[in-house]
Amino acid sequence: MNKYKEEFIHWDVSNEMLHFDFYEEKLGPNATLDFFKTAHEIDPLATLFMNDFNVVETCVDVNSTVDSYILRLKDLKKGGATMDGIGLEGHFTVPNLPLMRAVLDKLATLGLPIWLTEIDISNTIDRQTQAIYLEQVLREGFSHPYVNGIMLWTALHPNGCYQMCLTDNNLHNLPAGDVVDKLLQEWQTEDIMEQTDDHGSYSFFGFLGEYNVKVKYGNRTINSSFSLCKSDETRHFKIHL
């Protein structure tokens, strides 16, 4: 961490701690807590994550229910750990979207940013169905207001995929790759040129972020900017010519 401090915005401090306790067995019951404290001291600007699997994927893993995740996170914070982010792996077979949404909603009550960190679909499913399920999961995650980012578990290996790849060994898109390309294009903010109504109003749905606006009326032009941030209400911006 001393080598890479201030270069990474996130650290997964002690991966999959709901399922494994190797460090506690070797170093004592407070090992993970000490890791978080040390990580924050070394790189105080980075967001520290607790990351685990089978939290959003299934409800049958007794080690990683949403309640056990919250309890472990709160225990660490109570012990003095700096815990800034929720990391949820997503190794799905057949996605249970209502369960996924309910888990995200419950974790969102903690008020921490959520990242989906290892999204893939099992290779026991044919590639076309795999792509359909991938799109469902990505749309569910992208639409949730507390999901700040999504990372795919799709590394290409010379001997083939672990579970899911976006391309074949010749870098030609597989169905899953087509889905990712489609969604990246759909979720990209582009230039829009439109006219206002008779009252000088124009409305649109936009992604969070910064917007530049150029308004023309007759021979007059004005440039302005505004930000869209998280909010439950419609945002109104007035531009005077």
Domain match, 216 and 160 both = no
pLDDT band at 158 (very low <50, low <70, confident <90, very high): confident
Listed ranges 116-130, 159-173, 194-208; the one with the highest mean pLDDT: 116-130
Q: What average pLDDT does this structure show over 168-172?
A: 90
**pLDDT given for residue 234 in this prediction:** 86
**Pick the catalytic residue: 16, 41, 89, 194?**
16
Domain match, 135 and 217 both = no
Dist CA 39 CA 47 (whole Å): 10
Location of structure tokens 């899911």: 164
Residue 31 covered by a domain: yes
Domain match, 173 and 231 both = no
Residue 232, pLDDT above cutoff 80: no
Domain match, 89 and 133 both = yes
How many domains, the chain?
Answer: 2
**pLDDT given for residue 233 in this prediction:** 80
Domain match, 104 and 220 both = no
At residue 108, what are phi and psi to the nearest 5 degrees? -65, -25
**Pick the catalytic residue: 57, 89, 118, 135?**
118
Domain boundary among 186, 209, 224: 186
pLDDT band at 123 (very low <50, low <70, confident <90, very high): very high
Catalytic status, residue 186: no
Domain of 237, in residue numbers: 191-241
- Global confidence as pTM: 0.86
Domain match, 122 and 162 both = yes
Cα 33 off chain centre by: 24
CATH number of the CATH domain containing 157: 3.20.20.80
**pLDDT given for residue 10 in this prediction:** 94
Domain match, 42 and 141 both = yes
Domain boundary among 186, 214, 229: 186
Residues 6+ away with beta carbon under 8 Å from 1: 11, 38, 39, 42, 43
Residue 1 covered by a domain: no
Catalytic status, residue 16: yes
pLDDT band at 88 (very low <50, low <70, confident <90, very high): very high
Residue 205, pLDDT above cutoff 90: no
Residue 162, pLDDT above cutoff 90: no
Residue type at position 91: H
Q: Do strands 209-217 and 220-228 pair parallel, antiparallel, or not at all (unpaired)?
A: antiparallel
Residue 72 covered by a domain: yes
Domain match, 127 and 212 both = no
pLDDT band at 207 (very low <50, low <70, confident <90, very high): confident
Domain match, 176 and 208 both = no
Domain match, 176 and 71 both = yes
Residues 6+ away with beta carbon under 8 Å from 44: none
Domain match, 215 and 116 both = no
**pLDDT given for residue 159 in this prediction:** 79
Residue 2 covered by a domain: no
Residue 5 covered by a domain: no
pLDDT band at 241 (very low <50, low <70, confident <90, very high): confident
The pLDDT > 70 percentage for the chain reads: 100
